[in-house]
Amino acid sequence: MPILEHLWIIPLLPLLGATVNGLFGRTWPNKIVNSVAIGATGLSFLAALEAVREFFLLSPEQIPWVRQYFSWIEAGNFRAGFDLQVDQLTVVMLLVVTGVGWLIHIYSTGYMAHEGGYYRFFAYLNLFMFFMLILVMAANYVLLFVGWEGVGLASYLLIGFYFLRKSAADAGKKAFIVNRIGDFGFMLGMFLLFRTFGTLDFFKHAGAGGALGLFDKAAPLSAEAMGHLGTLTVACLLLFMGAAGKSAQIPLYVWLPDAMEGPTPVSALIHAATMVTAGVYVVARSHVLFMHAPTAMLVVAVVGCATALFAATIGLVQTDIKKVLAYSTVSQLGYMFLACGVGAFSAGIFHLMTHAFFKALLFLAAGSVIHAMGGEQDMLHMGGLSKKIKWTYVTMFTGTLAIAGIPPLSGFFSKDSILLSAYQSENGGPNVGHILYAAGLFTALLTSFYMFRLIFLTFFGKERYDEHHVHVHESPKSMLVPLAILAVLSIVGGWLAAPAFWGKPDYFAKFLEPVFAAPGASEAGTAEAVVHALETPLAIVAVITALAGLLAAYWLYVKQPSKPDKLAKFFGGAYQTLLHKYYVDEFYNAAVVRPLMWLSTNVFWKAVDVSIIDGAVNGIAEGITVVGDGTRRTQSGNTRSYAVWVVVGAIVIVAVIFWPHVRPVLGVVR
Amino acid sequence: MTASLIIFFVLAALAVGGALSLIFQKHPIHSALSLIVVMVALAGLYLLLGAEFVAAVQIIVYGGAIMVLFVFVIMLLNAGIEEHTNFSKLAGFPGLLLAFALTGFIAATIARSTDTVQAAAQPGNMASTKDLSTMIFKDFVYPFELTSFLILVAVLGAIVLAQREKA
Amino acid sequence: MIPTNYYIVLSAILFGLGVLAFIFKRNIISIFMSIELMLNAVNLAFVAFSQAMHKLDGQVFVLFVIVVAAAEAAVGLAIIILTARNRQSLNVERVDLLKL
Amino acid sequence: MFPRTDDLLRALPELIWCGFGMLAMLLQPFVRSRHFFTILALVGAIGGTAAAFVAGATPGEGFYGLIQSDVFSFFFRLLVGLVAVLVVLAADSYLERENLPFAEFYALLLFATAGMGVLASARELLTAFIGLELSSISSYILAGFRRDSTKSSEASLKYFLLGSFATAFFLYGIALVYGATGTTNLSRMDDADPGSNLLKLGLSLILIGIGFKVAAAPFQIWTPDVYEGAPTPVTALFSAGPKAAAFALLLRIFASVPAATHFWFWAFWVLAALTMFAGNLGALLQTNVKRLLAYSSIAHAGYILVAFAAVTFMANDLNGGATPAYAAVLFYLLSYALVKIGAFTIVSEIGGWGEKNLTLDDYAGLAQRQPVAAAALSLYLLSLLGLPVTAGFFGKFYIFKAAVNSHLIWLAVLMAINSIIGAYYYLRVIVVMYMREGSAEAMAAPAVRFPVAVNVVLTVTAIGTVYFGLFPNQVLNFILQPNLIAR
Amino acid sequence: MGSLFQGGHLLSILIFFPAVGSLALLLLRSDDHVFIRRIALIVSVAEFLFSLLLLRGASFASGDYRLVEYGQWITSPPIHYHLGVDGISLFLVILTTFLTPISVIASWSSIGHRVKEFFVMLLMLEVGVIGVFLSLDLFLFFLFWEVMLIPMAMLIGIWGHERRIYAAVKFVLYTMAGSILMLVGIIWLYNATGTFDLPTIQQMIQTGTLVLEPRAEMLLFLAFFVAFAVKVPLFPLHTWLPDAHVEAPTAGSVMLAGVLLKMGTYGMIRFCLPLFPEAARRAAPWVAVLAIIGIIYGALVALVQPNLKKLVAYSSVSHLGFVVLGIFAFRTISMQGAVYQMLAHGISTGALFLLVGMLYDRRHTFEISDYGGLATPMPKLAAFFLVAALASMGLPMLNGFVGEYLVLLGTYQSHWAWASWAALGVILSACYLLWSYQRVFFGEVTREKNKTLADASAREKFILVTMSIVMLWMGIGSTYFTRRTAAASQAVIDLVEPQRPYEARVTRDSRSGGQPVVSWTNTLPVAQASSTAEGANR
């Protein structure tokens, strides 16, 4: 089994591509640069496919398939190895990452053809692929963290790709720093886990040489033993903090909308399809721990749900096409966390996958639109594009249908299973699940509305741009082909779960079952029956909701184009709040950034460092100098004074030597 | 009160008076004369103590040679009345106080001391000049010889320092 | 007879007056004279002690002190002459070029 | 009544120094050659130093207990002899530059050296007194040797007046000690009653006299003025010779009069603290390098006094507990003498005719004009600062060790603080030499070529400083003999 | 060749070879700059190669000292010429010998006047630093410790910038103020033990031959600690550092940040912990608090610095805080991390200073506001700067991560609160580095002068590539280093706090009520606990 033995080949290929392009690509023509980049990613994709093929030949005992290549860090009883693993979850992620990644690479050759820094772009993109693959293939938290930080770096570089623009550089920096805040939690989570279990290796069952991984140790524990606010709860919450940073959840979501400063393929790949879902992946990967921490699960669910709703509301009023998609991404990530939070990890991963397809599609299509518009991103300056860029329109519309949850497109299935799980959830109280469901459903309505609003504003109605300056043109094949493929995937991607509707197993969930098998798997049978009974009614409700959103958008933006403004005026306060994203950035700025800067500048630096500490140091020096000057002045040059000094000295000596005699005398004086 | 005590007090008063006069006289020549008074009084005290040779040397060397030298230099330099400057802040009242404190302390310590000091001084002629010379030339011959070098140095110094600049 | 400490106290007083004189005289020659006064006080103490203990070495010491005083006088007066020549003043307070 | 041969041998170094001094005086009217007198003085100085070996080879009391020849006096005679040799070499070019009479100068130098030798070997306070006067009176004259310089004569006058003043205290102290013990011979004072107030007072006054000589605060008050005003080679002599000799006398008193150590401990503690601060604080703002080094001498006297405090603390330990403290003093004096003479020699040469270039500004950019001189001066300053690989470091180290040994932690801490203050002004000189640019005309002026004699001085002192900074062993083992000082 | 060094004088050669080199330089004519530079380079490279022999010459599988040289030097007090190398000093020596030729190359054209003296000082500095790392006699250690001061002060004072004299003097006085107390401490220790020999004293403490009373031990600990803390520098003794760095020439900054600061932390590991374990334990909370303050405070102050070099200097305060924290957490892991962080910081901050120096060479300013948009005229320099900045902020796969991670991980095992506060530094380091990077390199070129700046020259590229490779290597192949430092670190920890199996503490930690951590008291099932122990010992 060559590839499974040499799993490192899969991530290494993109790294090679990145290195070659980064070091030598500067002088090469675009053709060679993109051949290298696409070749590296494509080969990686092929290798992943081969690995998956081989993976299916493994017996269940051999899964997870772990290969330890070399020790990366060793200290005391701590070891972090360069260990890669493959299990079902990895397989899904691997295919999504390499597949979608490859498509986006191809798309980029067209999209970036006229941009400067072509080699740089592809080097970064390949670098991203490398780290993302490390992330999903890592067999321990530390290596996962490598990928985790690495994708953050790639994201930073790519967001700031147009570094001449201050906003782009700012956005990159913001993304990195906000991610770091999450990583702070992630690291502490790792530390706590190591402190509790003495290892950070994953495993579960198939340990090498009888060694136990973290999950093997955690799995037998009962949730009760760990307590509702126990070690694992803390650990999980800390891990979730990291996940929230990477996957843009409340309160750390602020970087993602800004990240749209990067080139559109980057937004598609990193900020929609892959990197931002890493948080979901981590939570799913750590499901063993989360299962033992109901409180943490609840937090995940609530945060996810809240984020979904919150971001969706902001998405309602955005006019920048990429911003809408960005908030939509945040919202959809919230969905995934909601799924994880209610214990439906496979549903979460399922949505992750379908979202990767349709959101990548949407972004790429949006990129195509922007490309066509010559860089224009504001939807208010578009309109009526459906005839001019037909292919883009068709594919984008497909994506919108998928995300809105219109059957039988992929989004419908994944969203449906999430809502179903939420509805059933009883963690934290009997009604919590229903509340979550309701919120999720409302979010679905909003999603449907703002996505169709996007479509209608962009492709329908009057042209609102200056036709003399903007020459709308269809994108090249290299961009359209990936769009088409992704559109197909968006349609069929959900069909793996479709059989659930007619009583057959959900193949996707079944495939992941070995990974997510809960301790109480034996009860699955009865649960499934209940599930099935609920499935159809809930699906119908969901579809109706989606259609309602569609109709509302149609009515507002196609039928009554003047209405939105009136509405906006009518709900002035609310509208402004949404338009300004609830003023969260402003709040962070005022509550955290500025006080910190002020404190650092005026208190720590100027007051403490310069005035107090250095002031004390220089003050001592100054004081000594003053005393020294005083000492010097006793040297008046006058012999008579000198004689008095001698007398003074005589008295000092005599007084010291006769101290026992002198003391009582002085005592009397006192 | 015996006669010798009276003599002692008279001489002591003379010595202290001379010393005070040395301080209060404005003109150096008067100070010098006051010092001679002190020296003569001290010579008297030496006689009282029975140290005739020392008394003689006191008069001859101190009163005769050294003080003459002083007077000579005062005349040579044509020193007038002391200029009464007060540049030193320390040498005013603080100096006075400190000097008094020191003197008082020394005097008090000596007065209260229980050592040999308390014994009455022996009068009479325990010291013959012959014994003295024996001591100087036998026991203390080394410092004595060194003294000759000292005087040599003094001569040399006087020459080097006071010599007029060659043209 | 006269107790020795009378002599010693007298010598202490003379010594103290010498110190005072050193501090309060301005004329360099007078200051030098006050040193001689102090040396005389020392001599008195020596002779008194020597007498009290019936030992001669105290008197020998006195003789040496007198000789040294003579030598000092020679050098000292030479220095005074030199200073007077350089400064045209015998006031010790005006000799303050070197200071601080 | 001619003295016995052994007595003469035991006093041979002083006799030779005096003899050559006299010879120089006698030949002065007949020989006009400068070199003749330099060589004569050199021969005399070296001869006396060599004679120290002869004296050292015949240990014992001399002249009926007036002097003592032992390892201790041997060491100090070597030290003052070395100082004399170096000063002769350093003075040669100075005297020529300033057009001063050399025969007299060398004679006085040799007499002063003899006086120091007497001090180092004296076991009788009378001898010590004469030795003290011999060196002092010569010093007064040497200080005023530049007759036409107002500063020089002022230095001479101040030194003379205050020196005599202090000598009077010293003498009065001797008188009181005599009164208390009935003798002026140190070797007969070992049974002195420590409770005697007279003895206490006497020893206090003696301490004042010696304190003046070693420039302990507040008797240090004369030092900067005299050091600044005196001709620079003479300053070099002052900073090294008389100070060492006076310390020798102090040590001798310690060793011989156990009672003294009872009284003096706290006195030394206070003196040491005051002296260190007086020296270092005073030097802080100096811009005149010569005066700065004078203040530095005071500070170093303070450091040595720390060791003295340790000696007084340990002196009653008859098992040789005080030996390391003695050793600390001796080693320090040696390293200090080397460094100070080297430093003042450079100051003398840089000063030029009429001692014009003494301020820090004159030293700016010296490293580029005269790299060797700057390097040497830096070495000396670093040794004074107490940086490793210099003798000064070991000197300071041993003093620290002595202080800590005697549980004088606070004194050690004060010394540490003073080392830091001291570091500031030593570094300032180095900084000026290396890091500041000199004035344009100074940089344009041709480099001063040092005469051979001066180079010899610098070589000897620099090599000595480094050598004792790396291998203090020989000297130390020599000092650390149990019979270092005759009791 | 091999036999010569195998025989046992390799350490002496390492110490004195640069001294010989600088003497040779002294004898050269001072106006042939090229030749002087070449000789300096040859000497420093040869020294580097010699130091590599250490890796071949000895195995570091146990914590003992290797390649020991022992000889009488001074008989009273007994001071020995005692050298030895162990896992901790090994790489610090190599770091020193590595950074010296780098500094020589970096100074190739930027030092234009008094060239000979410059390289003499640089080599003398190397002598002092290597001596510090290899000395096993307290006295000898102190000697080298002080010797190193003067060349460094000269480097700052002669070849520095505007306020160089102030900075140089401040540097020396600060350090001396600390070290003079250490001298008193050393002597005190000698009085208690009668020896200056470090291994001997260590043994006496271990075997209980020497028992210091608590107060004395604490005072001694402080005497040593303050000296080291000044050097590190630990808050609040750090204010010499920004001045020294800003004023120093590039090579000076590189050596200062790269090696000299490590002398402080090295001293803590080598002396404070093994000699005064009890005092160290008692002081640990205070030290840790200072270290944490240093981490956060240094980072915050760095954040708002308008001066690029000062920013990097303050970042050192922050980074070294991690090292101190790791040392005083008394965990094997954190100690390993601290040692690693020392090396990593030497490389990455060294690289940052080199880069800042290169910017200075072009524009003669450190003010961030004078730059902006430099990525356009000089993309290569920008790329290298980014690599160095990322390494400095602890990005995995680069050198900074391993040390920081281990320190925090280890610290967390015993003191979760310390680690949690310290981990804030990880966030802040990203803030100040990225922000400054953005202001310097991103955006449009705002100043006319900056438009025509030349990108990295071949010489600069050589330096930067070398540094980058090392950073990458240290980030990936950390076990190459940690396997050699492990035994020695463990030995130190064993002296201070013999490690209990950590499980015993995991769940029985009953601190703080009411907080989420209250369930810390939960116990793992017994069977589970034993299996975790197995896992731990793997």
CB atoms within 10 A of CB A621: 16
Q: Is the pLDDT of residue E513 over 50?
A: no
What distance in Å separates the CA atoms of residue B137 and residue B145, rounded to the nearest whole number?
9
Pull the structure tokens for residue A345. 């990890």
Q: Are residues A218 and A159 in the same domain?
A: yes
**Closest by Cβ to C23, choosing from A633, A635, A643:** A643
Whether residue A84 is contained in a domain is answered as no
Q: Are residues A456 and A601 in the same domain?
A: no
As beta bridge partners, residue E197 has E137
Whether residue A585 is contained in a domain is answered as no
Q: Are residues A192 and A239 in the same domain?
A: yes
Q: How many CA atoms lie within 13 A of A405 on its CB side?
A: 33
Pull the structure tokens for residue A588. 């962070």
Q: Are residues A621 and A643 in the same domain?
A: no
What distance in Å separates the CA atoms of residue A492 and residue A505, rounded to the nearest whole number?
17
CB atoms within 10 A of CB A660: 7
**Single-letter amino acid, residue A324:** V
Cβ atoms of E85 and E11 within 8 Å: the answer is: yes
> What pLDDT shows up at residue E129?
92
> What pLDDT shows up at residue B115?
60
pLDDT band at D298 (very low <50, low <70, confident <90, very high): very high
Range E363-371 average pLDDT = 87
Cβ atoms of A377 and A320 within 8 Å: the answer is: yes
Q: Is the pLDDT of residue A227 over 60?
A: no
In percent, how much of chain D has pLDDT > 90? Answer: 42
Cβ atoms of D469 and D389 within 8 Å: the answer is: yes
- Cα angle E158, E160, E165; round to 5: 65
pLDDT band at B126 (very low <50, low <70, confident <90, very high): low
- Cα angle E276, E278, E284; round to 5: 95
Range E451-470 average pLDDT = 88
C95 touches chain B (CB under 8 A): no
CB atoms within 10 A of CB C88: 8
Whether residue A458 is contained in a domain is answered as yes
Range A82-89 average pLDDT = 87
The kind and range of the H/E element at E65 are none
Chain B residues with at least one Cβ partner in D under 8 Å: 106, 109-110, 112-117, 137-143, 146-147, 149-150, 152-154, 156-157, 159-161, 163, 165
| Ramachandran area for residue A461 (φ above 0: left; ψ -120 to 50: alpha; else beta) | left
The separation between the first and the last C-alpha atoms of chain C, rounded to the nearest angstrom, is 54
Q: Is the pLDDT of residue E526 over 50?
A: no
What distance in Å separates the CA atoms of residue D80 and residue D241, rounded to the nearest whole number?
6
The sign of the dihedral angle between the CA atoms of E303, E305, E309, E313 is negative
Which residues span the domain enclosing A405?
3-77+89-579
Cβ atoms of D415 and D303 within 8 Å: the answer is: yes
Of A501-515, B34-48, E143-157, the poorest mean pLDDT is in A501-515
Q: Is the pLDDT of residue D149 over 90?
A: no
Phi, psi dihedrals of residue E78, rounded to the nearest 5° = -70, 105
What distance in Å separates the CA atoms of residue E328 and residue E342, rounded to the nearest whole number?
14
Chain D residues within an 8 Å CB radius of C18? 168
pLDDT band at E286 (very low <50, low <70, confident <90, very high): very high
Nearest to A335, CA basis, from A316, A318, A350, A315 = A350
Q: Are residues A257 and A357 in the same domain?
A: yes
Of A334-343, D212-221, D259-268, D362-371, the poorest mean pLDDT is in D259-268
Residue in chain D nearest A631 by alpha carbon? D282
Range E183-200 average pLDDT = 87
What distance in Å separates the CA atoms of residue A617 and residue A333, rounded to the nearest whole number?
54
Chain B residues within an 8 Å CB radius of A641? 88-91
D206, D271, D281: which to substitute to probe chain A, counting the most A Cβ within 10 Å? D281
Which residues span the domain enclosing C36?
4-92
Q: Are residues A535 and A603 in the same domain?
A: no
Q: What's the alpha-carbon Rg for chain E, to the nearest Å? A: 23
Q: Is the pLDDT of residue E493 over 90?
A: no
What distance in Å separates the CA atoms of residue A298 and residue A304, rounded to the nearest whole number?
10
Whether residue A651 is contained in a domain is answered as yes
Cβ B89–A641 below 8 Å, yes or no? yes
Q: Distance, in angstroms, between A620 CA and closest chain C CA?
A: 22
The kind and range of the H/E element at D427 are helix D409-435
> What pLDDT shows up at residue B62?
87
CATH of the domain at C81: 1.10.287.3510
Give the helix ranges, DSSP H, for D258-370.
Answer: 258-283, 289-314, 323-351, 360-363, 366-369
Cβ atoms of A343 and A284 within 8 Å: the answer is: no
Which residues contact residue C35 at a Cβ distance below 8 angstroms, ignoring those fewer than 6 apart?
Answer: C18, C22, C72, C76, D161, D164, D165, D168
> What pLDDT shows up at residue E350?
92
Range D146-172 average pLDDT = 91
What distance in Å separates the CA atoms of residue E459 and residue E457, rounded to the nearest whole number?
5
The sign of the dihedral angle between the CA atoms of A387, A391, A397, A398 is positive
Which residues contact residue E528 at a Cβ distance below 8 angstroms, ignoring those fewer than 6 apart?
Answer: A217, A220, A221
**Single-letter amino acid, residue B68:** V
ipTM above threshold 0.85:
yes
Pull the structure tokens for residue A133. 């693959």
Chain B residues within an 8 Å CB radius of C7? 45, 49, 121
Q: Are residues A488 and A608 in the same domain?
A: no
> What pLDDT shows up at residue D231?
92
As beta bridge partners, residue A73 has A80
Tell me how many domains chain C contains.
1
Q: How far is CA A582 from CA A378, D467, E378, in A?
A: 20, 77, 40
What distance in Å separates the CA atoms of residue E266 and residue E475, rounded to the nearest whole number?
21
Q: Distance, in angstroms, between A668 CA and closest chain B CA?
A: 16
Give the helix ranges, DSSP H, for D352-390.
Answer: 360-363, 366-369, 371-385
CB atoms within 10 A of CB A22: 17
Mean pLDDT for all residues in chain E: 84
Which residues contact residue E235 at a Cβ distance below 8 angstroms, ignoring those fewer than 6 apart?
Answer: E290, E291, E293, E294, E297, E298, E317, E321
Range D202-214 average pLDDT = 90
Tell me how many domains chain A contains.
3
The kind and range of the H/E element at A139 are none
Provide DSSP, chain B: --HHHHHHHHHHHHHHHHHHHHHH-SSHHHHHHHHHHHHHHHHHHHHHHT-HHHHHHIIIIIIIIIHHHHHHHHHHHT--SPP-----STTTHHHHHHHHHHHHHHHHHHHH--SGGGSBPP-S----HHHHHHIIIIITHHHHHHHHHHHHHHHHHHHHHHSPPP-
Whether residue A82 is contained in a domain is answered as no
Mean pLDDT for all residues in chain A: 83
Cβ atoms of D186 and D123 within 8 Å: the answer is: yes
Q: Are residues A613 and A532 in the same domain?
A: no
> What pLDDT shows up at residue D210?
92
Whether residue A652 is contained in a domain is answered as yes
Highest mean pLDDT among A113-122, D110-119, E175-184: D110-119
Q: Is the pLDDT of residue D460 over 90?
A: yes
Q: Is the pLDDT of residue E473 over 80?
A: yes
Q: Is the pLDDT of residue E527 over 70?
A: no
Q: Is the pLDDT of residue E347 over 50?
A: yes
In percent, how much of chain D has pLDDT > 70? Answer: 98
Range D161-188 average pLDDT = 90
> What pLDDT shows up at residue A429?
75
Cβ atoms of B69 and C36 within 8 Å: the answer is: no
Whether residue C46 is contained in a domain is answered as yes
- Cα angle A549, A554, A559; round to 5: 150
Cβ D434–E154 below 8 Å, yes or no? yes
Chain D residues with at least one Cβ partner in E under 8 Å: 324, 367-368, 382, 387-389, 393, 397, 400-401, 404-405, 409, 412-413, 416, 419-420, 423-424, 427-428, 431, 434-436, 471-473, 476-477, 480
In percent, how much of chain A has pLDDT > 70? Answer: 94
Range E221-227 average pLDDT = 91
Of A365-374, B121-130, C1-10, the poorest mean pLDDT is in B121-130
Chain B residues within an 8 Å CB radius of A638? 87-88, 91
Q: Is the pLDDT of residue B167 over 90?
A: no
- ω into A408 cis (within 30 of 0): yes
In percent, how much of chain E has pLDDT > 70? Answer: 91
Nearest to D108, CA basis, from B158, C10, E379, A197 = B158
Taking the mean position of all CA atoms in its chain, how far away is CA E435?
25
Cβ E297–A604 below 8 Å, yes or no? yes
What distance in Å separates the CA atoms of residue A120 and residue A115, rounded to the nearest whole number?
11
Residue in chain B nearest C27 by alpha carbon? B82
CB atoms within 10 A of CB A429: 11
Q: Are residues A10 and A131 in the same domain?
A: yes
> What pLDDT shows up at residue B119?
57
> What pLDDT shows up at residue D380?
93
Range D55-67 average pLDDT = 86
Of B82-86, B127-131, C56-60, the poorest mean pLDDT is in B127-131
Chain A residues within an 8 Å CB radius of D157? 639
Whether residue C100 is contained in a domain is answered as no
- A431 SS3 class: coil
Cβ E165–D434 below 8 Å, yes or no? no
Phi, psi dihedrals of residue A82, rounded to the nearest 5° = -85, 75
Whether residue C97 is contained in a domain is answered as no
> What pLDDT shows up at residue B118?
54
**Closest by Cβ to C39, choosing from D141, D168, D182:** D168
Cβ atoms of E62 and E87 within 8 Å: the answer is: no
**Single-letter amino acid, residue E85:** V
Of B21-30, C58-67, D148-157, D353-362, the poorest mean pLDDT is in D353-362
Which residues contact residue B2 at a Cβ distance below 8 angstroms, ignoring those fewer than 6 apart?
Answer: C1
Cβ D282–A639 below 8 Å, yes or no? no
Residue in chain D nearest A649 by alpha carbon? D218
pLDDT tens digits along E47-71:
999 888 888 877 777 778 888 888 8
Highest mean pLDDT among A116-125, B35-44, D30-39: B35-44
Whether residue A303 is contained in a domain is answered as yes
Pull the structure tokens for residue E346. 């030497």
pLDDT tens digits along D400-450:
888 888 888 888 889 988 988 888 899 889 988 888 887 777 777 777 788
Pull the structure tokens for residue E470. 């090392």
Virtual CA dihedral for A318, A321, A325, A330, nearest 10 degrees? -40
Give the helix ranges, DSSP H, for E306-376.
Answer: 308-328, 332-363
Q: Is the pLDDT of residue E524 over 70?
A: no
Inspect the structure and tell me whether chains A and E have 3 or more CB pairs less than 8 Å apart.
yes
- D60-62 and A78-86: which strand pairing? unpaired
Cβ atoms of D378 and D433 within 8 Å: the answer is: yes
Q: Are residues A34 and A58 in the same domain?
A: yes
